[in-house]
């Protein structure tokens, strides 16, 4: 019998392919007819450089711009939602938070990603944390960066970790 509420922490360095791993699992589950919910956060690139992040609601397929690289002018203290590298769009954060709040129950829950905003600042996708806590899914893929894996494991000690290694060239 399959156990409900299994948590898989998808961890790795920045750029290792965590979102790609989740996207493949999402596509596989959708092909099988599973109810897939949550959010993916694919990167936007310009001339091979990561310049932004989008967010995709997995139930509706709708996609919105989530974040962009901070400019020199944005590096000082200011209004808004920031990490060291990114400035987040408050409307997109709120929209994705609503999608996460409505995500469970489902077969596969995806939260890509729970980062410094959520794990260290108590902001951002707090509904993603709450959705994982419900255990109202068969499987949850929760993306975390390597430096936040310890915090995620402290929160969910029973979680299994899927470590993503960057693809090797050639």
Q: Is the pLDDT of residue 169 over 60?
A: no
What are 76-90's pLDDT values in tens digits? 555 677 777 888 999
Residue 84 lies in a domain: no
49: in domain:
no
Average per-residue pLDDT for the chain: 91
> Is 170 inside any structural domain?
no
In this structure, what is the dihedral angle of CA atoms 52, 123, 115, 9, given to the nearest 10 degrees? -130
Name the DSSP class of 146.
Answer: G
In Å, how far from its chain's centre is CA 33? 22
CATH number of the domain bearing residue 143: 3.40.50.300
Residue 80 resides in a domain: no
The residue segments making up the domain with residue 106 are 6-41+54-62+89-163
**Type and span of the H or E element at 6:** strand 6-12
Return the pLDDT at 2: 58
SS3 105: coil
Is residue 129 one of the residues assigned to a domain?
Answer: yes
Give the model's pLDDT for residue 36.
Answer: 98
Q: How many domains does the structure of the chain reveal?
A: 1
pLDDT tier for residue 17 given thresholds of 50, 70 and 90: very high
Q: Is residue 24, in this structure, part of any structural domain at all?
A: yes
pLDDT at 1: 46
Please indicate, yes or no, if residue 46 is contained in any of the structural domains. no
């Amino acid at each position: 019998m399959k156990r409900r509420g299994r948590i898989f922490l998808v961890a790795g360095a920045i750029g290792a392919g965590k979102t790609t791993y989740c996207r493949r699992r999402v596509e596989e589950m959708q092909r099988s007819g599973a109810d897939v919910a949550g959010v993916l956060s694919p990167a936007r690139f310009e001339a091979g450089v990561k310049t932004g992040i989008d967010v995709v609601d997995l139930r509706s397929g709708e996609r919105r711009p989530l974040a962009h690289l901070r400019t020199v002018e944005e590096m000082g203290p200011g209004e808004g939602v920031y990490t060291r590298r990114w400035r987040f769009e408050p409307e997109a954060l709120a929209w994705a938070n609503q999608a996460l709040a409505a995500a469970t129950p489902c077969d596969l829950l995806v939260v890509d990603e729970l980062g410094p905003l959520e794990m260290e600042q108590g902001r951002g996708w707090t509904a993603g944390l709450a959705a994982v806590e419900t255990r109202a899914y068969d499987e949850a893929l929760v993306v975390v960066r390597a430096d936040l894996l310890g915090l995620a494991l402290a929160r969910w000690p029973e979680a299994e970790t899927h470590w993503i290694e960057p693809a090797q060239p050639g």
